[in-house]
Structure 1
Amino acid sequence: MPNANTSGKIAYLTGEYPKVSHTFIQREVAALRAHGADILTCTVRRAKPADVVNDQLEEQASTFCILETAKAPHRLIGAHLAALKHAPGHWFSALRLAFRTRQPGLKALLYQLFYFAEAGVLAQYLKRKGVVHLHNHFGNSSCSVAMLTSEISGIPFSFTEHGPAIFFEPMHWRIDEKIARAKHVISISHFCRSQLMLFSDQSHWHKVKIVHCGVQPENYGRKTRTDFGKRILFVGRLDAVKGGPFLLEAFANIKTKHPDATLTIIGDGAARKSLEAQAGSLGITDNTTFAGYKTQAEVAAMLEDADMLVLPSFAEGVPVVLMEAMASHIPVIGSRVAGISELVEEGVSGFLTPPGDVATLTDRLDQLLSDPARCKQMGQAGRQKVTDDFDIDKEAAWLLQVLRDQSEQGTLRP
């Protein structure tokens, strides 16, 4: 397996970077750079223009795009010829690896060949730039490219896994092979770590270390809160998996007892029209605002004015928006799924409800809307939790220790 000291340049890879929904990766990169790391950002493809906000344009301009380079045949072929000339054994080994880790069917084989082609282009770029380590976010297709790039170039790789989608089809993405070949595997939670261990050989469990996603607490909660009202906030993609229909039902249920309560829904997506229609049928249109997409700065400002955040999802990793809300000194209601309970302590910084349970969600909303003093207490506890365990600066320092092989064996954290 490739091995190297990672005190030099580190390349960061993901499928689309920068991208508004992956702002947490950009935060991590910025925090690593602040700790002195020399990070080169790479992406398989460019995100759609609508998914790149103004403050990401500079980062996009400095990010190497594999597909942009690979579209020129002479560059694609030249990269692979160079790899064949300098390390033919690695090139053929990577080709065999691509073939061996494919799924059945012609389409799957073609995708593997695409990943192999992309890996040759990235390998040449990394070698030219003097990169000593490649780190990838997410264990799906971009991780396949990272694994093959490592095999071609001899540069070791690692990856961060968030879940939960990868755990629905772990063998399709050969998560077992990626863990076996990776130098380090980063998990965002204990739950995620357990799933990675479930789908890998015990001999590789020591590689899996926990590094939280995080926020900069100082950017939130600047407003001094003297009291709490009844302004409920939801932030997320408008998709059924986020539990929007159940939130609207629960909000309608508390309307009689709390006629002055308001619900603001930040985000957009395929389910927006159906959710707006549902709000109309439930008679809560006057109390519900569909605010659409908002920038990170706008979300932070709206969290300052909100009294609680609700995210009744069916599937999550550890949602950054919950961290942002807790850093803003407001209580949260989340679902008892995946790693959320590692962030939100039931009854202390918020509530955890069974996903899809409207009755429990209604009750928890009622409790918060009826007790401003408890909201304040939970908000303070949440802020402390984020400051202690989900500060991006602290997490980046720990991640850099891992990538530079300065961490202890196992999953112990400083």
Structure 2
Amino acid sequence: MRVLHVNKFLYRRGGAEGYLLDLAALQRAAGDTVAYFGMSHPENDSPLPYAGHFPSEVELEPAPSGLRPRTVAAGRMLWSPSSRRGLARVIDDFRPDVLHLHNIYHQLSPSVLAAARSAGVPCVLTMHDYKLACPSYQLLDRGRPCQACVTDGPLQAARRRCKDGSLSRSALLAVESWLHRELGLYDPVQVFVSPSGFLADVMRRAGVFPDRLRVVNHFVDLNGIAAKEEPGGGVVFAGRLAPEKGVDVLVEAVAALPDGVPVDIAGDGPARPALEALAERVAPGRVRFHGRLDKARLHDLVRSAAVVAVPSRWHENQPMAVLEAFACGVPVVASDLGGLPELVEPDVDGRIVPADQPAALADALRDLLADPGRAHRMGLAGRAKVARDFAPDRHLSRIRELYAEAAEARPVRRRSAPAPVGGGVAR
């Protein structure tokens, strides 16, 4: 099978990109031919044979300064002719059996779906966030959980100024989502994949193609991931350092943990300077920031811990941080939002605590740190869950079923030429 993955970033920027790249590797190992389409970016993996057809880089976080750059960025969010042209050329050369789309919003826009529809290629879209129901992605209104747009439509984002309190930024996101819905620009997608039941429920309530929604868990390949062998250790957080991740809640909780407990934070992001300053103020010398780590070093760090903290203050979908902690044989203390309670079973492989409450987080962490043997057994229970419910072969089989479903549901192809062999694509 020839699979073309489409995502705005093509390097391990976050969970969506990690999943995309891991799935592509799994598919290649199974004999599929895989190619990529995305936005030009200096950190993109290489080689990317079709990089010459990618649209130019545009940075939206933070928003560009100046009237012209902002106007260009806004136009790109609504519709990107360069993305459509570029993907059309890649489709013509690569001749995919299916387009597997991921985060195409903003930098690519749903214009890429127009290219797929013109070529008659079936489309499957994995939803890694809430963009199709929430214009600002995260079900947050200035840092607080919010589902106003889910029930009352995307224009609520402008009324509530939910994007950083800015009317102009919130209005742009609201208009973008409203216009894309009104024009039916996501109609060419035959199957929408939700990694969590929570996200799927949000999309159903928002009226986002409820008949095309399918829930498919992510996967973790346990081959090459050793389990923690001995009890003990401290606390680890792994993820993007952004306000919605609640890392500040963990830092605030550190002061209530026993003296000498190491707290390690792996990852990078816009909140890092503020978090480092907070740690120096409330827990001097007790929090270590490691920056972004490759997988091997991250897994080593996780295995050194007694527990992994996921203190998110937004509705996480199905974060790989939880699954990879379990794969390493380490239990997880997570907040009670989004898909997190679907992953963590209290007192079996972790604990669930109220979001945004440092005292509750500290209590749960302290409880596991006080009984290293119990924490170790819980971590191994998490690893057993991953082996049972999140196996790669199970995931790949389900994804292939959805590819077949999308092919069955697509309009008749407009092209009839046979697919060429090769095309300069890695196998």
Answer yes or no: same fold by TM over 0.5. yes
Greater helix percent: which structure?
Answer: 1
RMSD (Å) for aligned C-alpha atoms: 2.8
The letter of the residue matching 2:325 is: A
What's the counterpart of residue 33 of structure 2? 38
The answer on 1:244 being equivalent to 2:247 is yes
State whether structure 2 residue 410 is matched by structure 1 residue 393.
no
Q: Is the 8 A contact 1:11 1:41 kept in 2?
A: yes
> Mean alpha-carbon deviation: is it higher for 105-114 or for 357-366?
105-114
Cα separation, partners in 2 of 1:238 and 1:350, compared to 1, 3 Å: same
- Alignment map for 1:148-163 (pairs within 5 Å): 148-163=114-129
Q: Does residue 222 of structure 2 align to residue 220 of structure 1?
A: no
What TM-score, normalized to structure 2?
0.75
Query: Any idea what the Cα deviations from partners look like across 1:169-215, whole Å, max 9, x if unmatched?
Result: 174333683554311111111111112222336xx423211222222
Is the 8 Å Cα contact of residues 66 and 118 (structure 1) preserved in structure 2?
Answer: no
1:48 partner amino acid:
P
SS at match of 1:309: strand
Higher Rg of the two aligned structures: 1
Q: Using the TM superposition, name which of 400-409 and 140-149 deviates more.
A: 400-409
For 2:98, the equivalent position in structure 1 comes to 133
Preserved contact between residue 32 and residue 397 of structure 1 (Cα < 8 Å): no
Per-residue CA distance 1:23-44 (angstroms, 9 max, x = gap): 221001111222232222111x
Q: Which amino acid aligns with 2:50?
A: F
Residue in structure 2 matched with residue 293 of structure 1 by the alignment: 292
Name the structure 2 match of 1:89. none
Partner of 1:100: none
SS of 1:61's partner is coil
- Aligned CA distance change for structure 1 residues 133 and 378 (closer, same or farther; 3 Å): same
Percent of residue pairs bearing the same amino acid type: 24
Structure 1 residues 192 and 178 mapped into 2: Cα distance closer, same or farther (>3 Å)? farther
2:110 matches 1:115 = no
* Deviation for aligned residue 1:110: 3.1
2: distance between equivalents of 1:116 and 1:200? 28
Q: Spell out the pairing of 1:6-405 with structure 2 (5 A cutoff).
A: 8-21=1-14, 22-43=17-38, 45-49=39-43, 52=44, 57=45, 60-65=46-51, 68=54, 110-111=75-76, 114-138=79-103, 140-141=105-106, 142=108, 144-169=110-135, 171=154, 172-173=176-177, 174=180, 177=184, 180-200=187-207, 204-225=209-230, 227-229=231-233, 231-254=234-257, 258-282=258-282, 284-315=283-314, 316-405=316-405
Letter in 1 for 2:20: I
- Contact map agreement 2:2 2:98 (CA 8 A) in 1: yes
Cα deviation, 1:17-75, whole Å, max 9, x if unaligned, reads 133422221001111222232222111x13333xx5xxxx4xx213523654789xxxx
Q: 1:76-113: CA deviations, max 9, x gaps? A: xxxxxxxxxxxxxxxxxxxxxxxxxxxxx987983367
SS in 2 for 1:279: helix
Decide whether aligned partners of structure 1 residues 319 and 180 sit closer, same or farther in structure 2, where only a CA change above 3 A counts.
same
TM-score (norm. length: structure 1): 0.77
Is 2:241–2:267's contact at 8 Å kept on the other side of the alignment? yes
Report how far residue 264 of structure 1 moved. 0.9
